[in-house]
Structure 1
């Protein structure tokens, strides 16, 4: 069993309230879930209206699959027009027994 995760630090453009932030992040989270079939959640910055953090985690039987999914998630986050990807933190696939 292989486990990996990635976290995105985001700057949201043209957002002036937490309600607007949720309106931007909710579809982005759903898109990441659909495209990666991984666990996706807002993991930080919940009380800040211009900043956010999204985490993606996956468990799979192959290390290459974990890497592919995390790469796909990073490409999707970087290409999203409503926020800027400031930084990523990634844990490469690790074997668990």
Structure 2
């Protein structure tokens, strides 16, 4: 069994309130969950209106499949024009860990 996590550090564009922030972050989280069947949520910077950290986790029996899903999720977030992806942190845990 393999567990993979991603942490996206995002800078939001023209956002001036927490309400506007939610209207940007929620669709990204929802699309990740719907498209790739992963667990995702905003996990940090919840009180800052121009920054967000989205955390994501996925479990798989195959390391290749896990890496593929994580790559697709990263491309999806990086391709969103309303956010700037500042950094991505990736971790993969296997049975040997």
TM-score interval for Structure 1 and Structure 2 normalised by the shorter chain:
over 0.9
Gaps of 5+ in 2: none
- 1:63-74 pair list within 5 angstroms: 63-74=63-74
Aligned to 1:49: 49
Aligned to 1:26: 26
Gaps of 5+ in 1: none
Taking only aligned residues, the RMSD between alpha carbons, in angstroms, comes to 1.1
Aligned to 1:95: 94
The whole-number CA distance in structure 1 between the counterparts of 2:38 and 2:56 is 7
* 4+ aligned runs moved over 4 Å, structure 1: none
* 8 Å Cα contact 1:3-1:96 kept in structure 2: no
The whole-number CA distance in structure 2 between the counterparts of 1:29 and 1:82 is 14
Shift of 1:84: 0.5
The whole-number CA distance in structure 2 between the counterparts of 1:35 and 1:78 is 15
The whole-number CA distance in structure 1 between the counterparts of 2:34 and 2:10 is 20
Please give the TM-score of this superposition, normalised by the length of structure 2: 0.94
The whole-number CA distance in structure 1 between the counterparts of 2:27 and 2:49 is 16
Shift of 1:89: 0.5
Shift of 1:21: 0.2
Shift of 1:62: 0.6
SS, match of residue 31 in structure 2: helix
SS, match of residue 16 in structure 2: coil
Shift of 1:30: 0.6
